[in-house]
Amino acid sequence: MHADARYHPAGTNEAIISDAIGRGPDMQLGSKTDGWQLSRWRQFIGSYDVPALPEPLYTMHIAGQQHNRTWLNGGWSESVSMPGCATIVPAGQQTGWLIDGELDVVTLSVSSDQLSKAPAADQFRQMRFAFFDPLGAALTRQVLSELYAPPSTEREVYIGALVNALKAHILRGANSVSASEIPTSAFSAYRIHHVMNTILQNPEAQHSLEEMSAVAGLTPSHFCRVFRKATGLSPHQYVMKTRLDKAQQMLHQTDLSIAFIAESLGFTSQSHFTRAFRHFSGVAPSDFRKRVRI
């Protein structure tokens, strides 16, 4: 096992990612015998294009902002990644990433030779973005806690065993446990993530507090506390921000009328939309459209 933040041979996943984001991993270790490379990356706000990687990549989002997206079907994904979510990038696929603030992730590159023999090899043949993986998150965090512990022979053996357990988990089929089988604390986190993505995918819907808290399996008051802790916003503020983010996109990319945009995003009237947009963006919708099209 080799641990060195500067160690990433040319042509590897790690070298390609380093070139794309302009910095190397904070920490890296690998085992040629067991066919894996594990790295920790801390990156900041911006958009990044990552060329196709030679080996499949498992990524665990362990800390940082909760609104990170990937480029899918000609636009930024409606779904977002948050801490506790995993993403699988298949070999040979170019990807794009939009990072909203600081991002802290751990990546695990797996040898294609080993992957070809895995029961869940099919799941590595296409992109899987931001799926909830509580066991992968727990194993990843345990690896990190050991990496920053005082060095010893026993520690090195234990870290190798933990990473091999993580590799075995994803080769067997990460996220093989259904949401209904996840223990209560993880189950609530999964449901909060589900609520957030439902809002992102359908910003125009009513999204009443009662409905959202029911989906999360929490009382309305508890749901509000948990949601604010996860996002930094109240549920109502998150719905409004999502609508106004979508409005900015529509004003920039389409010629749809302001009245149509207001109605399609669930605002009660054009004046209501204009007031909310001005408060959010500092300018009226018409002025925003002129500014972004200059």
Domains of the chain, CATH where assigned: 2-177 (2.60.120.10), 181-294 (1.10.10.60)
pLDDT of residue 1: 46
Report which of residues 134 and 36 the model is more confident about.
36
Residues 6+ apart with CB under 8 A from 101: 44, 45, 64, 65, 67
Give 190-204 pLDDT, tens digit per residue. Answer: 678 788 888 988 899
Give 199-223 pLDDT, tens digit per residue. Answer: 988 899 999 999 898 888 788 898 8
pLDDT band at 74 (very low <50, low <70, confident <90, very high): confident
pLDDT of residue 278: 94
pLDDT of residue 112: 81
The answer to whether the CB of 85 falls within 8 A of the CB of 193 is yes
* pLDDT tops 70 at residue 257: yes
Give 36-58 pLDDT, tens digit per residue. Answer: 999 999 888 889 999 999 999 99
* pLDDT tops 80 at residue 284: yes
**CA angle at residue 109 from 169 to 190, to 5 degrees?**
45
**DSSP string for 44-81:** -SEEEEEPPPSS-EEEEEEEE-S-BEEEETTEE-SS-B
Strands across the sheet containing 103-110: 2-3, 27-31, 36-43, 103-110, 57-64, 85-89, 128-132
